[in-house]
Amino acid sequence: MPQTTPSGLLVIDKPQGVTSFDAVAAVRGALHIKKVGHAGTLDPMATGALVIAFGHATRLLNAIVAHDKTYEATIRLGLRTTTDDAEGEVLVDDEVRSRWLELSSQLTEGDHSEGPSSLPASSWQQLLTRTIAANFTGDIEQIPNTFSAIRINGQRAYDLAREGKDVELKPRPVTISEFTVLAIRSGFVTGKQSDEALQERGMVSVLDVDVRVSCSSGTYIRALARDLGDKLGVGGYLTRLRRTRVGNFALPDDTSGLLSPDAVSETQTHTITAHTEQKTFTNREGETITRNKCVLDTPEGLDGAGRCAWLIGRSLTMEQAARSAMPALDITPEEAAELRFGRRIERTIHEPAAAIVPQTHDVVAIIERANGHQAKPITVFPSRKLAYSET
């Protein structure tokens, strides 16, 4: 007898050093389900909230991708890199010292200063807050990073950049609802490596600025770091990036304050942490390859079936996922039957919504406005009783 295919959603706290696809592969392997996907890529350097859906819940991912997001990051001012983050090569600007002196002079009303370390963090915070408010909040135009996944004539921008080709990307509209400076640390680095820790002495003066950003989908935090550094004239790049929230899905350390306590509690219940392990294998050419893999943190002592059951037990159900992903409309069993036949129902809606029978927790369809008094299905889900496994 065929078994029902589970459908649901997990919030994975992605570790540093693995790709979003690695996290998807870890969930796919643990659940033994082919249909698994994620809502919004995180670079290998980044950590944090990665929403992963499985089964029929993957049909909800397009709605979740469009949600706004919150990040906490560290921007290093005083240097640039080829990729605008700590993965790239450092670009040292010989003029940056004089530009630091100019900024310091502005803050001290003309008195000379040796750079960021010679002034209190509060002085820099005032300058940064003013600069951000004037240039990087609200609706802005942003040029994505050269090393990005955007396609240009069918090719990824980062592939073209790695081949040494010129990459020209057009500005895109994004919305920054919050860009808050949380902390500032001044110090020195040698400028030889992008991930250097701050030192009390060195060749290059830098400021490490911790920020929290809430923004629309499609915003590049690396580009914000780059553009803030360019606006100040000293350069900037990202040394740390953590996504703490995707729409209604938040990690325990999210401090955005944008979700209700109940919503935060629910999504945190379904968060799975993970870690990075190295995997060594021999490829077809006989070469020994070592790479990182994502390993989900499940209770010790569980066999494969036990791990699968534990993960499904921690996941949001199809109904919970749908209600968190988009507006929901409670419908009757009779309306459910009409929708599953592809027919319209007499409901007035103004945006796509999940049609759900609350008595049976049955997610029937994603519907949209047909006319002033009717809604029509654009995606229909099988009945819970008929959701058989795909082999």
* Residues with catalytic roles: 43
- DSSP-assigned letters across all residues of 45-69: T-EEEEEEEEGGGGGGHHHHHTS-E
What HEC string does 254-317 produce?
A: CCCCCCCHHHHHHHHHCEEEEEEEEEEEECCCCCEEEEEEEEECCCCCCCHHHHHHHHHHHCEE
Residue with tokens 């001290």: 108
Strand, helix or coil at 154? coil
Q: Report residue 254: phi and psi, to 5°.
A: -65, 130
Handedness of CA 122, 124, 127, 129 (dihedral sign): negative
Name the residue among 184, 200, 191, 178 with its Cα closest to residue 80: 191
Please give the Cα distance from 78 to 69 (Å, whole number): 27
**95: helix, strand or coil:** coil
- Interatomic CA distance for residues 165 and 167, integer angstroms: 6
Is residue 314 within 8 Å of 10, Cβ to Cβ?
A: yes
Q: What is the DSSP string of 168-181?
A: ----EEEEEEEEEE
Please, which residues bridge with residue 372 across strands? Answer: none
Tokens of 10: 């997990």
The tokens describing 9, both together, are 């959603």
Rounded CA separation 67/248 (Å): 8
